[in-house]
Amino acid sequence: MERADAARNRARILEAAGELFAAKGAPNVTMEDIARAAGVGRGTLYRRYPDRAAIATAMLDEHEKALQRELIEGEAPLGPGAPPAERLAAFYAAMVGLLESHAHLVLGAETGRSRFETGAYGFWRVHVRSLLVSAGVPDPDALVEVMLAPLAPEVYTYQRSGRELSPERIAAALGEFAHRLLSAPPPPPRDA
């Protein structure tokens, strides 16, 4: 059971970090900035969160868990019951929505190699791999990271800011990608 003062500190830390991440971008926020804005000591901050990524991960957790529940028990096409191409397209659209609302947090939690080490990424990987297997795609293990690469927060923020693409346009393109890959007949086997 969390002590009342610890719960208040946690809430202040997460609120302060959220405001700073949104205003400055997570990579530009230091742990010192967060401690100062939350009105807590550095020791208090570091006891609960060892780094900025841990704070961003804690903030993202509830949003990612909601999406995970939809993938497991929600209505088709996001949930079970739709063909793999439709489910993948729906997953892409849901992830675009998550990134649009929380890219500043994802950039703090899932950048570079750390992206592959989060529990959420592991869940997304299992989900997409299962869709590839269901669609009969050859060598799903070699393809799953390729399918998740467009959802890297750096890619998404570049598309939105650098290329000025709308979330709807990004989701539509990813949906087209999903349908073309998973609805296409498999290529003939290659000679070894």
Q: What is the pLDDT of residues 119-162, one digit of tens each?
A: 678 899 999 999 999 999 999 999 999 999 999 888 998 999 99
Residue 118 in tokens: 């989060």
- Compute the average pLDDT of residues 173-185: 89
Q: Is residue 185 scored above 80 in pLDDT?
A: no
The two three-digit tokens of residue 129, written as one number: 């791999």
Map residue 49 onto helix, strand or coil: coil
Instruction: Work out the average pLDDT over 71-86.
Output: 95
- Of 1-10, 102-111, 130-139, least confident by mean pLDDT is 102-111
* Mean pLDDT, range 42-60, rounded to an integer: 86
- Mean pLDDT score across all residues of the chain: 87
Query: How far is residue 109's CA from residue 159's CA, in Å, rounded to a whole number?
Result: 19
Number of Cβ atoms within 10 Å of the Cβ of 170 = 23
